[in-house]
Amino acid sequence: MGPVITAWSAISACGIGRDAFEKASPRPSPLDDNSPGDQAFLASAFDTREMLGAKGTGSMDRSSALAIGVVDELLAGLDVDERTGVVLGTTSGSSQTQLEFTRESLTRRKPYFVNPASMPFALMNSAAGQAAIWHKLTGPNTTIAGGRMSGLGVLRYGVRLLATGRASGVVCGAVEEYSPARAWLEYHRGSRHVLGEGAAVLFVEPSGQARDPLAEVLAVETRVAVDGDRAAGLVRCLDRSFAKAGVSPGDIGTLVLSAPGGELAEAERAAVAGLRASVVNPAEVIGDVGAATGPFQIATLLRSPGLAVATALDDDGTVGCALLRVFS
């Protein structure tokens, strides 16, 4: 048996933890922060100070806080060793922290009158590094900037770490904060979807360990649609996944989509038109959570035993899918 998922957790507009994600049907929160949208799916139940305390969190970015929080949820009751890795996906880190750093530099009396404590939080690897520090995870610690492909990129990379014995188990996931800075960047990239914020993580480890597997990772296939035909690229990923795992497309019971709308959604729907699976899209529940979409898709498909597929596409031309066998 290939690598397996043995635990997961999530923080989103649904609330904190697995039960919240399974049961809640959140409404977007109204915004009055001068951002381009008037509502967003905020993880309001997660207050950094309340959840993590005041120590070390004064300059902390929202993404790092969410990462620490969700890994805390995951590891509650999970016994892990010192070769446990953390692999998290992102779009470009905490845009708000980066914006505020530049704002300080440009508006204070001297350009270097900036808050030095905020600098490491402005880097993209802050969330994964912080999750490791707070939970003493000394295995490989990797940040993959994959945008909307982060979930698949992280899973593919994490499985590779297991195959080469570099980690005993890997916390695979992604984080996306909501902030006005992110909202404006998305707006100027042409997105008009209701944004969401969230963090979701899976624990992936070799099969045959003590924990009962929730699902087996049968295949993760990704490629780049260099000719611009995303749908055709995604079809090739699906075909290769089915061939690799020796399954028939007709056996796929659940399909979890990623795109919140627009051109990506059209390509995604065109690529999966031949599948007769029941279709879900977590963006309808928690909003557009950007880089965090992937692990939320996996968390969603874990509900339905049988063969399941999660697909993903990014504006930059990457496409891909994951094929899993979910156990009952």
Partner 1 sequence: MRRVVITGIGVVSSIGTGAGEFARALRDGRSGARAIEAFDTTGFAHAGGCEVRGFEPGRWVRNVPLVEVGRAAQFAIASARLAVEDSGIAEAELRDRTGVVSIGTTDGGADDGERLAETVVRSGAQSMDSAAAHRVPASRLATGVARELGLSDVDVSTIATACAAGNYAIGNGFDAVRTGEADFALCGGADAMCRTTFTGFYRLGAVDPECCRPFDAGRSGILTGEGGAVLLLEPLETARARGARIYAEVLGYGLNCDAHHQVAPDRDSVRRCMELALADAGVTPGEVDLISAHGTGTKANDITECGAIKQVFGDAPPRTVSVKSMLGHTMGAASALGAAACALGIEDGFIPPTINHTETDPECGIDCVPNNSVSADLRVVQNNALAFGGNNAVVVLGKR
Applying the rule CB under 8 A, the residues between 43 and 72 that interact with partner 1 are none
Beta bridge partners of 4: 205, 216
3-state DSSP assignment of residue 220: strand
Cβ 306 to partner 1, closest distance in Å? 27
Q: Least separation, in Å, of the C-beta of 238 and partner 1?
A: 14
- Residue 241 interacts with partner 1 (CB under 8 A): yes or no: no
Q: Give least dist CB 84 to partner 1, A.
A: 10
| Residue 138 interacting with partner 1 (CB under 8 A) | yes
Adjacent-strand bridge partners of 312? 320
Does 37 sit near partner 1 (CB under 8 A)? no
Give, as ranges, the residues between 194 and 233 that touch partner 1 (CB under 8 A): 222-227, 233
Q: To the nearest whole angstrom, how small is the minimum distance from the Cβ of residue 152 to partner 1?
A: 10
- 11, 120, 125, 203, 242 from 172: Cα distances, Å: 14, 22, 14, 6, 23
**Binding to partner 1, residues 81-120 (CB under 8 A):** 85-86, 90-93, 95, 98-99, 101-103, 105-107, 110-114, 116, 119-120
Q: How near is the Cβ of 243 to partner 1 at its closest, in Å?
A: 14
- What's the start-to-end Cα distance of the chain, in Å? 16
Size of the site for partner 1 (CB under 8 A): 77
Which of 10, 80, 144, 267 contacts partner 1 by CB under 8 A? 144
Helical ranges in 205-302 per DSSP H: 230-245, 262-271, 283-286, 293-301
Residues 6+ apart with CB under 8 A from 220: 152, 155, 156, 159, 241, 320, 321, 322, 323
- Residue 328 binds partner 1, judged by CB under 8 A: no
Shorter beta-carbon distance to partner 1: residue 266 or 316: 316
The whole-angstrom separation of Cα 92 and Cα 216 is 30
Strands (E), 38-182: 39-40, 84-90, 141-145, 169-176
CB atoms within 10 A of CB 239: 13
Q: Which is nearer to partner 1, 214 or 267 (CB)?
A: 267
Minimum CB separation of residue 164 from partner 1 in Å reads 5
